[in-house]
């Protein structure tokens, strides 16, 4: 039995759903335009890039594969941060953020699995191997789906929020495993060549399109995430209003 | 009866999508296997059909106990029992069908993806799909008998599985051996598959009758 | 239409709860079963509904032309539990029972009319599990209205109802009787019905003694 | 000993069921919570028991010396469900709760005495699932007797009880109050207690409006 | 707390053998593998420990979802939740312990029989038993977290398994590798076994706390 009023402050007012709706409504068009433009530039650069002397044309898969793999991990990190928000500040918007990131993250993970698999066929001669990197990404995919199932199973979003946040945080341990699996274990998969402490080891003609694509994917992620959050907020409002209306009808008619 | 089918499917999809859960569970089981066996692709391909079948059996078992118990707990079962005998058998049949549509069929459809992960050949995957298609309904129908017997027991869940596992094991064995027969050369695929289908048909006919009788008897 | 019980005998385990229960009910009549806790009221209703086998005796339903009717298909049974799925909407629950319990006969209210009749207009689209105990019981009563069946068997129908809803319930039963229906209710509380017949179960149980009786 | 509620506010989903619920109860006093179906009586009791978080406000228990006591450990909660295992015998069920809820304090009746107090002597060795609805409820009441706790929270305690047991229940509560206990009961039926305080929930709900309130 | 342990064990043994079911399922899993592998005894002996571990993991999943749900349905859970935090954690711990005694321990005891079926050496069987003895409690403790999260869900069974399978992977990995290390010569048995024990202890400490938190949150 404790006082559970949310702390009032600039953070709270910033994360106020109404204000978020207004703010994101203004930002969204620009964000969407920026993602479209960057994506077009990135695609152009990807196709203009020279073919790899070893891998031939299949190297172009990289421009999709690597950014989506990065985004899959980033999206989970965003969710983990939001989960801390849910558990510590109990702010409803944090839960909205975590929940609406789920399908997007699952989609990026799927894309990275799919492109990796398509790439693996010519490079390794098989669609799938159970090495550490591939398996840990697969487990990430399962965790996205499991969390989605959890949300779907609870009819009341308020009740799903905290268990889902706990689970998201427990599962975060998988992210460093994905990142460092190539170094900790002997795997078929490429070791990191871009995000390294000693600078990228990849040729600039491939590096620049990759970076532009990564920026484009990030922008796309934020565009989609904002849109999904707006939908989720509106969805919760609609259901709240419907239930409200129903209850007032039910009780007022029954008791004049 | 269509109303019942619709209701049961609605409940299955509404409350956390039984279908999606089954497939996810299946994926999770398959993902766990290489951690135990090791990432040896040849070995995985060899035990693949068995793993897929075990996963499907387990996925069908989990939650089977609720087939009638959920209806009993909220009192619906009493109303379902207030029908004449034929209608009751039809009701049980429809409930089994809904259970299979919600949990068995998605497993069959997910099998190719899992076959890929287990490095199984296209032929082998196809054989597993075919045997699952014939075999999973049998599990639902046998399951109904167990679920009906255990409906009055508070912790029926486990008991259901105990009752039906021995009955389900022949299904498992013929399913697995038909899957292997399809890929290993000397063994013919059709004999075990025909036996599997015969078992499935037998249970489809017997299961609902036995389950209806058990339900009538268990009413208290 | 006429419902006749002849020398019904009901047993739980080794004790005989009631013996020689006989009554006749015709259109427009109601019977209230009373008795202390554990007397066997619920058991009697379940025997009447055909959910439990009577130890001996018969309960039959005869049409207006004297032909015997299948009890189960002309009877609504409302037990302690509400027979509704928590995860489905109120309207879906009622629609299911309507289709299931009255496949063709056109009689019976529409879903919305039934919900209005129990004064819960507006809850139709809520999941059943969201309702409070009394609201749930009222929706369970609405089920009796969506599919018309002449005989109602009601086990403590007013449990969890507030005073106003007790009144509402009495009105519903009265309307059902006025239309030529029949009702048998087990209850501890006065139902607010007038001119009902009553049957009191004593609550004194006899051990089933004759050896053949003991484990059949 | 004193129980104090200050400005309790309770919410379900998006509607505020009650606000500003405040009361003080001292030894020997009882509070009856009334209101139409869905008013929020059960919700209030669950908030008091600590099973649901209040939206705001506090409920505290203070000992005779003024020191604050943990509510959960000095309170018996009796909900809609009886908290008994159907497969265990009545005596096993009660023995479990006795050991669990009152580990050392010697106060509280023995199992047999409690079963006698609810006038069900003889059922001790039956599995709980064999009892009738009213008998089950009476055994659930017996649980309150086997382990002594000063505050009783009772949600529709007399549901399914016959008239005689209603009387019995009233006697039990009266004895508890006379011994210096306290009781809060939500109910639709008069409990047969005299001189109790009462709290009426209106059943008119307000939408949780402020945006921050809306989905936490 | 002893009272709770006694009650849970009484319920488990009274109403249709949780223990027996786990063992039966275990048997079924182990029995179908030879169909996949063929009668190659050496291979069977080689993958034996892995199969035993996978079977034990899957068998523990059966019935795990009812760990708290049964208590919720009859209202006991409310009373269990009316305790201070430490007592609640202890309560959850005791419930896990009862669950393990009723389902995990019988699996450990059944392992030698299955080892025989898999043509495993005595040493190898002993190693599997030892690792199962250390590892299965961990599964019960992680399982409690899943069961607590899914306590309010009518069809929680599959969801619980999906949520906890990924978390159980480390237990599986170290359990299997310790079993192998015991028989293959250069690898030492103790390091992976110590890690396994450490994981089990970690989950024994963390599981009840997380499950208690989830139960508190799910109360409605
Ligand atoms: C389904 C299979 C695959 C999965 C799940 C997968 C996953 C990933 C992940 C998660 C990353 C990001 C790593 C990081 O940021 O450190 C990544 C990067 C990368 N992957 Fe894959 N991958 C797969 C197959 C492949 C294949 C077949 C190739 C090519 C032979 C490949 C080449 C690369 C390259 C070049 C990078 C960039 C590494 C860097 O520069 O940091 N991947 N992959
Ligand atoms: N688990 C729940 N989730 C969401 N809403 C709920 C839940 N339980 C109850 N409600 C809603 O809260 C309101 C109050 O319910 P509550 O059970 O407290 O009423 P009550 O006063 O006890 O009514 P009754 O007399 O019918 O038992 C109802 O409108 C109900 O729809
Ligand atoms: N499932 C059962 N198995 C065995 N005995 C039972 C069962 N259900 C009830 N009984 C016994 O039958 C007797 C009558 O029970 P019944 O439920 O018919 O009483 P009731 O008159 O409805 O009482 P209440 O007013 O408490 O609901 C009781 O003594 C009870 O112990
Ligand atoms: Mg009764
Ligand atoms: Mg209530």
Region A135-162: what's the mean pLDDT? 83
Is the pLDDT confidence value at B133 over 90? yes
Q: What percent of chain B has pLDDT over 70?
A: 93
The pLDDT-based confidence of D214 (bands split at 50, 70, 90) is: very low
B39–A128 CB contact, under 8 Å: no
Other beta carbons within 10 Å of D210: 8
Check if B59 contacts E (Cβ < 8 Å): yes
Give the helix ranges, DSSP H, for chain D. Answer: 41-49, 90-101, 111-117, 133-146, 163-178
Q: Which ligand is nearest to the CA of A174?
A: 1
Distance of CA A207 to the CA centre of its chain: 23
Question: What's the CA gap between E145 and E142, in Å, rounded?
Answer: 5
B78–C73 CB contact, under 8 Å: no
- What pLDDT does B39 receive? 76
Distance of CA E141 to the CA centre of its chain: 8
Residue C12 β-bridge partners: C15
- The shortest C-alpha distance from E101 to chain D (Å) reads 19
Closest alpha carbon to E148 in E160, E130, E138: E160
For the CA of D135, the nearest atom of ligand 3: 26
pLDDT tens string B103-125: 889 999 999 988 888 888 888 89
Q: Are C125 and C79 in contact (CB under 8 A)?
A: no
Give the helix ranges, DSSP H, for chain B. Answer: 2-14, 18-37, 41-61, 66-73, 76-81, 85-99, 105-117, 122-149, 156-183, 190-218
Lowest mean pLDDT among B39-48, C202-211, E181-190: C202-211
Long-range (24+ apart) CB contacts under 8 A made by D17-20 are: D17/D43, D17/D44, D17/D201, D17/D205, D18/D43, D18/D44, D18/D201, D19/D206
Give residues with Cβ within 8 angstroms of B131, minimum separation 6.
B53, B174, B175, B176, B178, B179, B193, B196
Question: What's the CA gap between D13 and A159, in Å, rounded?
Answer: 10
- The shortest C-alpha distance from B217 to chain C (Å) reads 9
pLDDT tens string E92-149: 999 999 999 988 898 999 999 888 888 888 888 999 999 999 999 999 999 998 899 8
C160 sits in the region (left: phi over 0; alpha: psi -120 to 50; else beta) called: left
Mutate to test the interface with C, among A247, A252, A255, A256 (most CBs of C within 10 A): A247
Domain residue extents for chain E: 2-219
- What pLDDT does A171 receive? 84
In chain D, whose CA is at the least distance from the CA of B220? D130
Nearest to A18 among D14, D208, D211 (CB): D211
Closest alpha carbon to A98 in A85, A107, A108: A85
E strands present in E71-188:
none
Is the pLDDT confidence value at E67 over 70? yes
Which residues 91-130 in chain B show a CB within 8 A of chain E? none
- What pLDDT does D164 receive? 87
Residues shown for chain C: 216
- What pLDDT does B12 receive? 77
Instruction: Classify residue E104 by its DSSP letter.
Output: I
* Domains annotated on chain C, with CATH: 1-74+150-216 (3.40.50.300), 84-149 (no CATH)
pLDDT tens string B138-185: 999 988 988 888 786 655 556 666 677 778 888 888 888 888 888 777
pLDDT tens string A170-206: 888 889 888 887 776 666 777 776 666 666 667 777 8
Question: What's the CA gap between C16 and C5, in Å, rounded?
Answer: 17
- What pLDDT does A186 receive? 63
Ligand 1 proximity of A109 Cβ (cutoff 6 Å): no
Domain residue extents for chain A: 27-189+215-240
A155–C119 CB contact, under 8 Å: no
The pLDDT-based confidence of C107 (bands split at 50, 70, 90) is: confident
The pLDDT-based confidence of A216 (bands split at 50, 70, 90) is: very high
Using a 6 Å CB cutoff, which residues line ligand 2?
A: A 247; C 130-135, 160, 162; D 12-13, 17, 35, 37-43; E 220
Region E202-216: what's the mean pLDDT? 89
Give residues with Cβ within 8 angstroms of E97, minimum separation 6.
E5, E137, E140
- What pLDDT does B146 receive? 85
Q: For residue D56, how far is its CA from the centre of ligand 5 (angstroms)?
A: 21
Q: Compute CA distances C165 → B172, D35, D125, whole Å.
A: 55, 12, 39
Burial tier of A17 (Cβ tally within 10 Å: 0-12, 13-18, 19+):
buried
Q: Are C72 and B80 in contact (CB under 8 A)?
A: no
Question: What's the CA gap between D165 and E41, in Å, rounded?
Answer: 70
pLDDT tens string C135-164: 899 999 999 999 999 999 999 898 888 888
Q: What percent of chain D has pLDDT over 90?
A: 43
C85–B7 CB contact, under 8 Å: yes
Q: Are E132 and E108 in contact (CB under 8 A)?
A: yes
Closest alpha carbon to C201 in C59, C49, C44: C44
Q: Which residue from D130, D132, D158, D169 has its CB within 8 A of the most atoms of ligand 3, so it is best to mutate?
A: D132
pLDDT tens string E176-202: 888 888 887 777 888 888 889 998 999
Residues of D in contact with A255 (CB under 8 A): 36, 203
CATH of A27-189+215-240, one of 1.10.3470, 2.30.30, 1.20.120, 1.10.12: 1.20.120
Q: Which ligand is nearest to the CA of D132?
A: 3
Q: Compute CA distances C59 → A142, B86, C6, C71, whole Å.
A: 58, 21, 6, 8
> Checking DSSP bridges between strand C182-186 and strand D2-12, what pairing results, if any?
unpaired
Closest alpha carbon to B177 in B111, B131, B126, B141: B131
Q: In what order do the strands lie in the sheet with D151-155?
A: D75-78, D151-155, D182-186, D30-34, D197-200
D35–C133 CB contact, under 8 Å: no
In chain A, whose CA is at the least distance from the CA of E147? A163
pTM confidence score: 0.82
Q: Are B29 and B51 in contact (CB under 8 A)?
A: yes
Question: What's the CA gap between B193 and B181, in Å, rounded?
Answer: 9
- Calculate the average pLDDT of chain E: 84
Burial tier of E164 (Cβ tally within 10 Å: 0-12, 13-18, 19+):
buried
For the CA of D40, the nearest atom of ligand 2: 18
Angle at which helices B2-14 and B18-37 cross, to 10°: 50
Residue D152 β-bridge partners: D76, D183
C42–D159 CB contact, under 8 Å: no
């Amino acid at each position: 039995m404790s006082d559970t009023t949310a702390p009032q402050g600039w953070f709270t007012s910033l994360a106020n759903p109404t204000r978020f709706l207004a703010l994101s409504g203004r930002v969204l068009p620009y964000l969407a335009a920026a993602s479209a433009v960057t994506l077009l530039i990135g695609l152009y650069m990807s196709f203009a890039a020279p073919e790899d002397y070893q891998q031939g044309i299949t190297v172009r898969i990289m421009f999709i594969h690597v950014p989506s793999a990065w985004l899959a991990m980033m999206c989970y990190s965003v969710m983990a941060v939001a989960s801390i928000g849910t558990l510590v500040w109990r702010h409803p918007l944090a839960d909205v953020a975590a929940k609406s990131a789920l399908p997007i993250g699952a989609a990026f993970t799927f894309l990275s699995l799919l492109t990796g698999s398509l790439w693996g066929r010519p490079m390794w001669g098989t669609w799938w191997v159970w090495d550490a990197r591939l398996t840990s990404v697969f487990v990430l995919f399962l965790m996205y789906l499991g969390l989605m199932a959890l949300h779907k199973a609870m009819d009341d979003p308020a009740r799903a929020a905290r268990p889902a946040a706990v689970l998201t945080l427990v599962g975060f341990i998988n992210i460093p495993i994905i990142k460092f699996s190539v170094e900790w274990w002997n795997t078929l998969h490429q070791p990191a060549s871009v995000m390294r402490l000693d600078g990228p080891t990849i040729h600039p003609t491939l590096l620049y399109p990759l970076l532009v694509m990564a920026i484009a994917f990030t922008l796309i992620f934020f565009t989609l995430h904002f849109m999904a959050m707006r939908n989720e907020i509106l969805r919760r409002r609609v259901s709240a209003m419907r239930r409200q209306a129903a209850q007032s009808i039910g009780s007022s008619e029954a008791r004049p | 009866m269509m109303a019942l089918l619709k209701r049961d499917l609605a409940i299955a999809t509404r409350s956390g999508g039984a279908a999606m859960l089954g497939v996810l569970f299946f994926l999770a089981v398959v993902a766990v296997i290489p951690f135990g066996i090791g990432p040896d692709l040849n070995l995985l391909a060899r035990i693949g059909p068995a793993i897929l079948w075990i996963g499907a059996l387990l996925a069908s078992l989990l939650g089977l106990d609720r087939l009638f118990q959920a209806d009993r707990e909220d009192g619906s079962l009493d109303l379902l029992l207030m029908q004449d005998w034929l209608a009751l058998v039809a009701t049980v049949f429809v409930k089994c069908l809904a259970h299979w549509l919600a949990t068995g069929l998605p497993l069959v459809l997910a099998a190719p993806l899992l076959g890929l992960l287990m490095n199984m050949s296209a032929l082998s995957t196809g054989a597993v799909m075919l045997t699952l298609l014939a075999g999973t309904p049998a599990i639902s129908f046998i399951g109904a008998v167990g679920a009906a017997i255990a409906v009055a027991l508070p912790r029926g869940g486990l008991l259901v599985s105990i009752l039906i596992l021995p009955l389900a094991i022949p299904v498992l064995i013929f399913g697995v051996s038909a899957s292997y027969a399809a890929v290993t050369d000397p063994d013919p695929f059709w004999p075990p598959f025909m036996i599997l289908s015969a078992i499935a048909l037998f249970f489809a006919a017997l299961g609902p009758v036995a389950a209806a009788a058990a339900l009538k008897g268990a009413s208290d | 239409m006429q419902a006749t019980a002849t020398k019904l005998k009901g047993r739980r385990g080794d004790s005989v709860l009631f013996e020689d229960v006989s009554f006749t009910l015709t259109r427009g009549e109601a019977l209230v079963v009373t008795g202390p806790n554990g007397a066997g009221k619920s058991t009697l209703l379940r025997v009447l509904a055909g959910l439990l086998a009577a130890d001996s005796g018969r309960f039959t339903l005869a049409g207006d032309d004297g032909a015997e009717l299948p009890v189960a298909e002309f009877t609504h049974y409302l037990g302690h539990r509400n027979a509704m799925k928590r995860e489905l909407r109120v309207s879906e629950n009622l629609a299911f029972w309507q289709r299931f319990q009255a496949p063709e006969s056109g009689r019976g209210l529409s879903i919305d009319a039934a919900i209005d009749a129990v004064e819960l207009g507006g809850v139709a689209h809520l999941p059943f599990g969201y309702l409070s105990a009394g609201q749930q019981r009222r929706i369970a009563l609405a089920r009796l209205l969506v599919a018309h069946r002449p005989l109602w068997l009601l086990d403590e129908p007013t449990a969890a109802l507030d005073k106003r809803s007790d009144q509402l319930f009495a009105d519903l039963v009265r309307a059902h009787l006025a239309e030529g229906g029949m009702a048998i209710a087990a209850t501890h509380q006065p139902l607010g019905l007038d001119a009902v017949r009553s049957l009191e179960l004593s609550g004194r149980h006899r051990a089933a003694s004759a050896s053949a009786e003991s484990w059949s």
